[in-house]
Structure 1
Amino acid sequence: MEEYLEEISRIRDELEKHPEGLSITDIAGLLGINRNSVAKYMDILQVQGAVDGRKRGTSKVYYISHRMSADSLRKVCSQPFVTLDQDGLVTDNNQQFSLLTGISPEQLPGLPFDKLPLRSLEGGTAQQIFRTALKGLEQRVHAQVALGSEEHPVNLFLVPLVFSTGKPGVVVIVDDERTGNASPPAAALPEFRVILDNQVEYAVRYSPEGIIQYVNEPYCRAISRSREEMIGRPFKHLVSADDAERVRMNRTRLSPRYPAGMIEFRAIMANGEARWQRWWDRALFDDRDQLTGYFSCGLDITEEVLVRTKLKKTQDMLEETIVTRTNELREINRQLYDEMTRRETMEQQLLLTQFAMDNAADMVFWVNRNARVDYANKAAVTGVGYTAGEMPDLALGDVVPVPATETWGDTWEHLKREGTITRQTVMIRKDGTKMPVEMVLRYLEYHNNEFVCCFCRDISERTRMERTLHLANKKLNVLTSLTRHDIQNKVTVLLGYLGRARKREKDPVVLEYLERQEHAANAIRDEITITRDFKDLGADPPEWLNIRNVVAAAVTRYSDTPARFSVDLPDLCVYADRQMERVFSRLFENAVNARHPPQAIHVFLRAEKERRVVAVEYDGPGIRPEDKERIFDGGGEAYGQRGLFILREILSLTDITLAETGEYGNTIRFEIGIPPVSYRQNSGNGA
């Protein structure tokens, strides 16, 4: 018991040190007490009325309560008062309050606060003022007491209190202005009203909820409403939705550390005119940093904005004139400079070109129509092992053998038609050794002089790496094949045991778990099957494949299905991985194995600017627009589309794309986009 009281005492001491409030997590961390124990102690302290709590962000913070005890109220208060419970109903009052309001003590208990003869002149409605005080914020309101047909001014002090049961409440203390002890808000004093009403600026005082408590005469004139019409109503500027959000954010950013902020916007006045205004918003906080309201001052800056706009236009025109004249002078100077440096530039470019060609990393040969080498750079001389003096006596065929089926004349004519030939071949050095190279032949004509520029690059290292990589891929495929076989065997055993368990188990909950496990095991087996189909992906370099033959081979696999295939493809070759046939096989398999298989599957080609698009289309439920990309990241199972990720990877090896473009609810259409460099018309020797 003593430990329990000691921990509560430590919590109260810590809250005294932090008037801004602490959360349960903060208290537990500071005192080293379990969070559940702290939560229990805070409930006890709240019931006792010793602490209050409020929301701060997503957590709740607690602080020492400043509520007055209801039991000690009669001992310390000699002014008229009435106590209200948390529902706003009268629970107690003194004789002075009965005399002030003319209501007998027997009639007061149970009356709602807003039914008492007290009319608030500021701060919002009676319920709004009461709710704010109930949260723990003391309220001071200028009001009037109605006695029959007469009214006289008073000040209402709404002070938070706590009943002996621990429940919160509010005491309303009436300070009669006729006694000379009233303390009305500064904005309600006559001398301050006179000062504010004679200002050019607008002045508005309003509650945290935005309810107007005071407004000066200039603002009333600006919006053509009386002060009585505005007090108690929400304070809102007549602005656009974007400006309204800016105004809200300007107030939201205000804090005890930065309580003031300025904003400019265009507002619509009572006469329909749009006027620019500048407002300074200041947030008002109590000693516990609780927001008690706002005080805003506004100023009409329309004339200032117009002057600024005109000044900006004039400045822009002046800058435009300066820029125009500067550009004209710059153009004249540029032309003069170009004329002075043209010959020097040409000479430098010629020397630079010659230097770059001589020192290029690749071997460069200039070959004439007779296949003789007119020029060879340093890399070429070093690469073939001849001296610079021996190069003019060489023919290109002495260094790079031309295929037996070709002659230099055939190659020359082909280059004149096509412009460029790229091939991998072998270069024969002077000592007879062979060096694998990648050769690019390009036909050029300059001032009626024809020649072929031959670029050769040593690819010995690349060839060795490709062989090594090819061997590594083969070994990796063997390893994955063994691993895949072992996994499939283990999944088969797992499915067998799950089947036996489902037959013997009667508990529906366990049966549901077993069914989910069986579904997961089947999914694993399906994924393993997919990896088996594409085990050779990337094992061999891409090839030129006849797209019509590739699709025809895939169609034959499903010739015994009810689906009717319609293939309309030209004699086109596509540069792609050898696994491309499996791409179409997988698309056809997903279609024929769908819940509602299509009656017809159409495969056709269309042109899209420079690209060519091969489409696979069939009737079906379609795919929602938001899922059209997700199906390629493992989300295709919901639509019966399996293995799409691997299909996209196969095609991307040669920059070919795969996308679903069907109409949701009607069709499914997969489009294979082929870039210009990856297709060509079949010349008769395609795959």
Structure 2
Amino acid sequence: MPIKPDDFCQVFIVQSKVLSLLIFILIGVLLEYVVHYSLKIPYVYTHIFYLLILLAAIWYKRDAVYLALFFGLLHIVVYYFNSGHRAYEPVFRAVMLCMIAYIAGSIVACMTHFRDEVAIQNGELERTKEAFKTANKKLNLLSSITRHDILNQLTPLLGYMDLSEELTHDPAHLEIIHKEQRIINTIQKQIEFTRNYEDIGVKEPIWYNIKGYFHELTPSYPNHSIIISESVSSLEIFADPLFPLIFPNLIDNSIRHGEKVTSITLSSYEEGDSLILVYEDNGNGIPIDEKEKIFERGYGKNTGMGLFLSREILAITGLSMRESGQFGQGARFEIFVPNGAYRFID
């Protein structure tokens, strides 16, 4: 049976430890013989024992005490042979060697245990992440198939309703058909919302150039006499990949509910260690009692999902949004960007 590389490495490491221990013992014996026994220097050289014991503690943890005990007894014996009498100094030094070995070994043992616990937790975390990814992938696939099937059924239904509208001239029937069409359109928008909402936080956040991105939106509204402008310099914001949905939601909200909107502006300013991105229009504005309700899911005349979704997208990277305009003077949405989530590029 061939030896696996991992097994070979384990054998090599074990053999290296044993060889190193033998070398440590040999060094200790040589020091005792040459320095202590032959040269009659009883103490200074023992500092090298501390180094050898600390090195042994790294590999053998508290078992390094045995090496310290060996060095200590060897030191006591050689001291006795040299002096011919017993003394407290070598005994005290031997005790110190054992204490250092035990303390160092205990510290290494605790660190090793902590490292192993962290490795186990990291392994469990990785397995949990993989399980979540797998479950999320399956759920996304299931919801995608479900959305596709529902939309496939709604499309011919809309076709039949258009045909019904052409075949009838009864105002009452036409009103019913129009209500049915609005309901189907709402269902389609809600399905689109579920597709966007399930993608929030799935992909890694990226940096967005606000100036360039906002300019790209202007050609998207050619049929509206609205001047869209910005003064955000070279600002970039770190946000979820669904961040591009936010400003279209705000602009659609201005067009749909502002009624008299002719101007939309985007600006920014720093306050403390944060940045505030300000979206404003000159429409009707938001009543005081609705300033927080407009961010609730389902609130509003249409699907009521746009502002709710926008807030959820921003929250992924610690951003937040509120409406602070005065009713009758236009809407004002403030996006709070914390330190580290924005930067200015050259």
Asked if TM exceeds 0.5, the reply is yes
Moved over 6 A (4+): none
Number of residues paired by the alignment? 239
Aligned match of 2:239: 576
Which of the residues 316, 337, 341 maps onto 1:679? Answer: 341
How many angstroms apart in 2 are the aligned matches of 1:534 and 1:459? 29
Aligned match of 2:112: 381
Aligned match of 1:628: 291
Aligned match of 1:468: 131
Please say if 1:553 is aligned against 2:213: yes
Which secondary structure state, in structure 1, belongs to the residue aligned with residue 275 of structure 2? strand
Aligned match of 1:531: 194
Sort the Cα spacing of 1:607 and 1:646 in 2 relative to 1 into closer, same or farther, 3 A: same
How many angstroms apart in 2 are the aligned matches of 1:674 and 1:597? 30
Is contact 2:211-2:235 (8 Å) kept?
no
Aligned match of 1:81: none
Greater shift after overlay, 613-622 or 631-640?
631-640
Aligned match of 1:514: 177
Is contact 1:555-1:585 (8 Å) kept?
no
Structure with max Cα Rg: 1
Is contact 2:254-2:261 (8 Å) kept?
yes
Which secondary structure state, in structure 2, belongs to the residue aligned with residue 559 of structure 1? helix
TM-score, normalised by the number of residues in structure 2: 0.57
Residues 357-383 of structure 1: per-residue CA shift (max 9 Å, x gap)? xxxxxxxxxxxxxxxx9x966542235
How many angstroms apart in 1 are the aligned matches of 2:146 and 2:303? 27
Is contact 2:262-2:283 (8 Å) kept?
no
For 1:518, give the aligned amino acid: Q
Residues 230-252 of structure 1: per-residue CA shift (max 9 Å, x gap)? xxxxxxxxxxxxxxxxxxxxxxx
Is contact 1:473-1:539 (8 Å) kept?
no
Per the TM alignment, residue 570 of structure 1 is displaced from its structure 2 partner at its CA by 5.3
Per the TM alignment, residue 659 of structure 1 is displaced from its structure 2 partner at its CA by 1.6
Task: List alignment gaps of at least 5 residues for structure 2.
Answer: 1-103
Per the TM alignment, residue 524 of structure 1 is displaced from its structure 2 partner at its CA by 1.1
Please say if 1:613 is aligned against 2:273: no
How many angstroms apart in 1 are the aligned matches of 2:285 and 2:127? 48
**Cα RMSD between the aligned structures?**
3.6
Per the TM alignment, residue 574 of structure 1 is displaced from its structure 2 partner at its CA by 4.2
Aligned match of 1:649: 312
Is contact 1:618-1:667 (8 Å) kept?
yes
How many angstroms apart in 1 are the aligned matches of 2:238 and 2:136? 21
Sort the Cα spacing of 1:671 and 1:376 in 2 relative to 1 into closer, same or farther, 3 A: farther
Aligned match of 1:24: none
Sort the Cα spacing of 1:495 and 1:574 in 2 relative to 1 into closer, same or farther, 3 A: same
Per the TM alignment, residue 639 of structure 1 is displaced from its structure 2 partner at its CA by 8.3
Which of the residues 132, 137, 147 maps onto 1:484? Answer: 147
How many angstroms apart in 2 are the aligned matches of 1:569 and 1:523? 35
Is contact 1:590-1:642 (8 Å) kept?
no
Please say if 1:604 is aligned against 2:270: no
Residues 192-221 of structure 1: per-residue CA shift (max 9 Å, x gap)? xxxxxxxxxxxxxxxxxxxxxxxxxxxxxx
Aligned match of 2:61: none
Per the TM alignment, residue 649 of structure 1 is displaced from its structure 2 partner at its CA by 1.4
Sort the Cα spacing of 1:380 and 1:571 in 2 relative to 1 into closer, same or farther, 3 A: farther
Name the structure with the higher helix share: 2
For 1:615, give the aligned amino acid: V
Please say if 1:493 is aligned against 2:156: yes
Residues 456-494 of structure 1: per-residue CA shift (max 9 Å, x gap)? x95232233223323332332232222222222222222
How many angstroms apart in 1 are the aligned matches of 2:142 and 2:202? 14
Sort the Cα spacing of 1:585 and 1:593 in 2 relative to 1 into closer, same or farther, 3 A: same
How many angstroms apart in 1 are the aligned matches of 2:261 and 2:303? 13
Residues 391-432 of structure 1: per-residue CA shift (max 9 Å, x gap)? xxxxxxxxxxxxxxxxxxxxxxxxxxxxxxxxxxxxxxxxxx
